[in-house]
Amino acid sequence: MAILPSFPIVLAAVCSLAVGYFLIKLCKARASFYYNKVKKGYPMPPWNPILGHLLVLNKAFKKYNLTRDMHMDDIFGAISKEFVESDSLFYVDLWPFLNPMVLISSPKYAQQAELVQDRPSDLLWSMHPVTGGPSVFATNGTEWKDTRSLLLPGFKPNYIFNQIIYSIDGAEALDMAFRIIAKGQNLVQLDRFFLEYMMKLADGQHCNAGNLLSQERFEAFTKALRSNMDWHYLGDSISSIVRRTPIIQLINSYNTRIMNRYLSDVMDERYLEWRAGKVSSLSYSNKSTLDLILADYMSKHKDKVPEVLDTAFKNWAIPQLRIMFFVGHDSGTATLSYTFYLLSKNPLALEKMRAEHDEVFGSDVTAVSYLLRTQPNLLNKLTYTTAVIREVLRLFPPASGFRHGKSGAHLIDENTGNHYSVENVNIWILHSALHRNPRYWKDPSEFKPERFLAGPNDPLYPVKGAWRPFEHGPRDCIGQALAMTTLRVTLVMLVRSFDVKPAYEEWDYLHGISLESAPKYEGERAYQAGQSGAHPAEGMPCRISLRQ
């Protein structure tokens, strides 16, 4: 009778094979990077043939006194200052956690990179907790082009103005909430407070599910989305290995089931209304992103409309809706928080914005809602308010740009003639470092909205391609017009009624943090933190009061 090997022996054999496979992959990855990048003398931190650049980040934390929850863009941005000769361009090898990258923070390289259409395959994994599958954000080729073309009509300016009601309703709800907070004199984390508002706003713009399913289910959906982000995008003190542990994967799967079941039911309910003719009669501008998706589905099945939506279609549509929810609330939340923060620190700018609102909408703040509903084009007159938002996005961009380098392609330094290969590497456009690059911005760390009102001969005038919070080129953000409209509506309905004051010193005192030990980056307590979209540290603790 044959004697079967014991479990420990089998386990040891499997582990040995796994380790051997990993070592082979490691050797191949390091050898490829050495021959294609290191040997050619490309700019990069000191490289180790075994560890690559895995120790570089830890050294950067010590060298630049970085905080452990700091957003990754600023970590690499600090390192980029060491590469002045290559105009802040440098390579890093962080395999197996990330594929090799070239990081850039100058407009001349960014303008070359923006022409590349493909996004890195890494994004499919990194965005999976948010999307649950391939989305318009991370797919490439025909799949990306077809999806973008389908969704794009929902983000055109005329369409957005006709849907402005959702932004107005949301701002009115915020006004009421602000008054309650002001009355109670409570300390509030402004960024986290805005999250709920922006999620409800995203629902109205993209699904309008609030009219289809219960509020309890919507809250469960938003809670699951935030949970996935909190667990997956842990701070840098928690390694990428921990993010792949079974417990976090189980949490991800549990939250994904909640989100997918919710959106699946929303789609079913809305599809029934479509089949009953309740939606097709609506004007085009009153249809949500989900309606655009369903309209396309029905046009492809007009000969025989199915009784129910097929599974394959749902599996494609749900990631598109999930990414819309994410981008619809994540970046807008942070930008609103930083806008109130910077206005509180720059009272003259706040005074100018309020004066502009008085000029465009009149001094009666109670009339703003009606004026916006009947004359949404008034928003186009808010030139200074728009400049403020653009300056906030310059100083605190919510994300960065990503591309995947093509075979045989190079980034070219026009001044030196140097060519930098992007073959087999991902291109990371560091918006935060680019937006504060002193080579391209006058007074880069100062809040000066006037730079976006200046003429071409003014030293403040932005260099072409240097401002890119929404990116440029074929992979630019399709929701940028919607985002700017939402921000302007919210500000015009709130900024004249309330004073918002940062309360970091009070927050630190309540949490036992001394003034000397409070974490900062380049003197900024409200530094950008997080590992998905960048958000203010500690959620931006503030005091809200009625304007005196």
Q: Summarize the annotated binding site for heme as residue ranges.
A: 477
Record the tokens describing residue 52, joined without a space: 């690559």
Mean pLDDT of the chain: 87
Give CA–CA dist 396/52, Å, rounded: 30
Q: Does residue 203 register a pLDDT over 70? A: no
The mean pLDDT of 7-16, rounded to a whole number, is 77
Sign of CA dihedral 352, 358, 364, 366: negative
Coil/strand/helix, residue 429: strand
In this prediction, residue 45 carries a pLDDT of 96
Give CA–CA dist 157/139, Å, rounded: 25
The mean pLDDT of 207-235, rounded to a whole number, is 70
Q: How many degrees, rounded to 5, is the angle at CA 285 between CA 279 and CA 290?
A: 55
In this prediction, residue 39 carries a pLDDT of 94
Give CA–CA dist 260/318, Å, rounded: 7
The DSSP code for 288 is -
Beta partners for residue 412, in sequence order:
419
Q: Which residue has the higher pLDDT, 280 or 348?
A: 348
Q: How far is CA 72 from the centre of its chain?
A: 13
Q: Does residue 282 register a pLDDT over 60? A: no
Q: Does residue 255 register a pLDDT over 60? A: yes
Per residue in 109-127, pLDDT tens?
999 999 888 888 888 777 8
Tell me if 497 sits within 8 A of 545, measured CB to CB: no
Tell me if 59 sits within 8 A of 51, measured CB to CB: no
Q: Does residue 132 register a pLDDT over 80? A: yes
Tell me if 437 sits within 8 A of 466, measured CB to CB: yes
Give CA–CA dist 115/331, Å, rounded: 24
Q: Does residue 140 register a pLDDT over 60? A: yes
Q: Does residue 489 register a pLDDT over 80? A: yes
The DSSP code for 102 is E
Half-sphere exposure of 510 (CA within 13 A, CB side): 9
Give CA–CA dist 7/215, Å, rounded: 50
Record the tokens describing residue 262, joined without a space: 């919710």
Tokens 């996005």: give the residue.
Answer: 393
Give CA–CA dist 435/377, Å, rounded: 30
What confidence category does residue 235 fall into, taking pLDDT thresholds of 50, 70 and 90?
Answer: very low
In this prediction, residue 223 carries a pLDDT of 85
165 burial level (CB within 10 Å; 0-12, 13-18, 19+): middle
What confidence category does residue 415 fall into, taking pLDDT thresholds of 50, 70 and 90?
Answer: confident
Alpha helices (H) along 286-437: 289-300, 311-345, 347-361, 368-374, 383-395, 431-435
Tokens 């490289």: give the residue.
Answer: 47
In this prediction, residue 274 carries a pLDDT of 83
Which residue, 179, 521, 95, 171, is CA-closest to 370? 171
Per residue in 425-481, pLDDT tens?
999 999 999 999 999 999 999 999 999 999 999 999 999 999 999 999 999 998 898
| Orientation angle between helical segments 383-395 and 480-494, nearest 10 degrees | 110
In this prediction, residue 237 carries a pLDDT of 40
Tell me if 144 sits within 8 A of 152, measured CB to CB: no
Q: Does residue 234 register a pLDDT over 70? A: no
Record the tokens describing residue 462, joined without a space: 């932005």
Give CA–CA dist 132/221, Å, rounded: 13
In this prediction, residue 98 carries a pLDDT of 86
Q: Between β-strands 410-412 and 498-502, what pairing exists: parallel, antiparallel or unpaired?
A: unpaired
Least confident among 55-64, 78-87, 224-233, 464-473:
224-233
Q: Percent of the chain beyond pLDDT 90?
A: 50
Amino acid present at 523: G
Q: Which residue has the higher pLDDT, 341 or 307?
A: 341
The mean pLDDT of 249-267, rounded to a whole number, is 89
Tell me if 102 sits within 8 A of 89, measured CB to CB: yes
The mean pLDDT of 55-59, rounded to a whole number, is 89
CA of 178: how far to CAs of 175, 184, 489, in Å? Answer: 5, 10, 16
Q: Does residue 206 register a pLDDT over 60? A: no
Tell me if 467 sits within 8 A of 508, measured CB to CB: no
Q: Summarize the annotated binding site as residue ranges.
A: 477
Give CA–CA dist 151/401, Å, rounded: 20
What confidence category does residue 202 fall into, taking pLDDT thresholds of 50, 70 and 90?
Answer: low
The mean pLDDT of 357-384, rounded to a whole number, is 95
Give CA–CA dist 17/10, Å, rounded: 11
In this prediction, residue 285 carries a pLDDT of 56
Half-sphere exposure of 482 (CA within 13 A, CB side): 30
Q: Between β-strands 426-429 and 101-104, what pairing exists: parallel, antiparallel or unpaired?
A: parallel
Per residue in 309-368, pLDDT tens?
989 999 999 999 888 888 767 778 899 999 999 999 999 999 999 999 999 999 999 999
In this prediction, residue 482 carries a pLDDT of 87
Tell me if 362 sits within 8 A of 330, measured CB to CB: no
Coil/strand/helix, residue 229: helix
Which residue, 106, 28, 56, 202, is CA-closest to 434? 106
pTM over 0.85: yes
Q: Which residue has the higher pLDDT, 238 or 124?
A: 124
In this prediction, residue 283 carries a pLDDT of 55
Tokens 């001094």: give the residue.
Answer: 363
The mean pLDDT of 130-147, rounded to a whole number, is 90
The DSSP code for 479 is T
Least confident among 60-69, 483-492, 535-544:
60-69
In this prediction, residue 248 carries a pLDDT of 78
Phi/psi zone of residue 262: left (φ > 0), alpha (ψ -120 to 50 degrees), beta?
A: alpha
Per residue in 398-411, pLDDT tens?
989 999 988 889 99
What confidence category does residue 36 fall into, taking pLDDT thresholds of 50, 70 and 90?
Answer: very high
Beta partners for residue 188, in sequence order:
542
